[in-house]
Amino acid sequence: MRTEIATLGEFGLIEHLTEGIEHQNASTVYGVGDDAAVLSYPAPKQVLVTTDILLEGVHFDLTYVPLKHLGYKAAVVNFSDIYAMNGVPRQITVTLGISKRFSVEDMEQLYAGIRLACEAYGVDIVGGDTTSSLTGLTISITCVGEADADKVVYRNGAKENDLICVSGDLGAAYMGLQLLEREKSALRGNTDVQPDFSGKEYLLERQLKPEARKDIIQKLTEAGIKPTAMMDISDGLSSELMHICKQSNAGCRVYEEHIPIDYQTAVMAEEFNMNLTTCALNGGEDYELLFTVPLSLHEQVQDIEGIRLIGHITKPELGCALITRDGQEFELKAQGWNPLK
């Protein structure tokens, strides 16, 4: 069954997609249904706001990305930015540009993913907009979050001798993308054959359905650790580290042997004849947390499951470098995702 979007109209579509939404946050006073949402954040809370746009053909390919997964990912990448400020996401607004080839049922799938992410992370959908698009699907999500004024973590607080930490493992999302692109090329024009992804599920999940590291923020809070600088890894470890160092007026040393990499990522990189460390440094879309902590917290942070120490912050004049397994030093380059290339 296919229902043309025009039969519902803009307001009818929004009403249809947001039907039955129940708010989970006390800070949501009024959500969808008026000219603006009403939010309330009493002191000492500070309000965090982030926004992200995804364009078909630039950020995603619907040949292999299911709409439900796309909706989930579009929401989660925004939550990740709020967690990267040491905050908690509370509300989102969803803006869609929709071309004629999409039906109401397609948008139901997309929204099912967005709503699933919101339920999983305790976030309210409080508004948005829809319009027609001549260039395929556009998704823009704005996320509002909160943090105590003294708990917000910026990118510019890293100090000399601070330890550099990452959560999870790196490079898997990038290898998942390579895998999907390879199968797309191999099966071009052949709709009867389904690719076999057995044994590679983790890589696909990391690319198609990433998770924001709410758990790591909770563990750090429970341990009484406030990072000195933090951001999430969306454009690649190398690129993000250089952001922190530039904004903190510092240098860094990162050790190749300490960069966490999953076994499936390593196997896939070998299959593609790619350099594994390059994939982990520059792949992007891992949505892991990269943060720095004072050297004095070495033992506490090392005891937290899911966190790896990968290096330390240095004087700015020493620059940003990778120390290889055999002790060589290479200047870090930001070769990750550049949306304006």
For 218-269, how does the pLDDT look when each residue is reduced to its tens digit (9 = 90+)? 999 999 999 999 999 999 999 999 999 999 999 999 999 999 999 999 999 9
pLDDT at position 192 is 66
What's the rounded Cα separation, in Å, for the pair 66 and 205?
A: 12
For residue 189, is pLDDT > 80?
A: no
**Range(s) for CATH 3.30.1330.10 in the chain?**
5-148
**Range(s) for CATH 3.90.650.10 in the chain?**
163-331
pLDDT at position 337 is 60
DSSP state of 303: T
Neighbours of 26 (CB within 10 A): 10
What's the rounded Cα separation, in Å, for the pair 236 and 215?
A: 21
CATH top class, domain 5-148: alpha beta
End-to-end CA distance of the chain: 39
For residue 334, is pLDDT > 80?
A: no
For residue 151, is pLDDT > 90?
A: yes
Neighbours of 147 (CB within 10 A): 20
CA-angle at 84, arms to 80 and 90, nearest 5°? 55
Kindly compute the dihedral angle of the four CA atoms of residues 229, 234, 237, 238, in this order, to the nearest 10 degrees. -100
The enclosing H or E element of 244 equals helix 237-248
What's the rounded Cα separation, in Å, for the pair 311 and 253?
A: 5
pLDDT band at 117 (very low <50, low <70, confident <90, very high): very high
CA-angle at 44, arms to 232 and 35, nearest 5°? 75
Residue scoring higher pLDDT (185 or 270):
270
pLDDT at position 89 is 98
Q: Any idea which residue has 């196997």 for tokens?
A: 267
pLDDT at position 228 is 98
For residue 295, is pLDDT > 90?
A: yes
With CA atoms as reference, report the closest residue to 155 among 246, 31, 264.
Answer: 246
Q: Are strands 289-293 and 320-323 parallel, antiparallel or unpaired?
A: unpaired
For residue 341, is pLDDT > 70?
A: no
What's the rounded Cα separation, in Å, for the pair 185 and 242?
A: 34
Structure tokens at 34: 């008026």
pLDDT at position 292 is 98
Classify burial at 320, counting beta carbons within 10 Å of its beta carbon; exposed 0-12, middle 13-18, buried 19 or more. buried
pLDDT at position 191 is 66
- Kindly report, residue by residue over 302-320, the tens digit of the pLDDT: 999 999 999 999 999 999 9
Q: Are 241 and 320 in contact (CB under 8 A)?
A: yes
pLDDT band at 336 (very low <50, low <70, confident <90, very high): low
**pLDDT, the chain, mean:** 94
What's the rounded Cα separation, in Å, for the pair 229 and 86?
A: 10
Mean pLDDT across the stretch 145-157?
Answer: 97
What's the rounded Cα separation, in Å, for the pair 25 and 39?
A: 10
pLDDT band at 187 (very low <50, low <70, confident <90, very high): confident
- Kindly report, residue by residue over 49-63, the tens digit of the pLDDT: 999 999 999 999 999
- Taking the model in full, what pTM does it have? 0.95
- Kindly report, residue by residue over 13-69, the tens digit of the pLDDT: 989 899 988 999 999 999 998 899 999 999 899 999 999 999 999 999 999 999 999
Query: What's the CATH fold of domain 163-331?
Result: Phosphoribosyl-aminoimidazole Synthetase; Chain A, domain 2 (3.90.650)
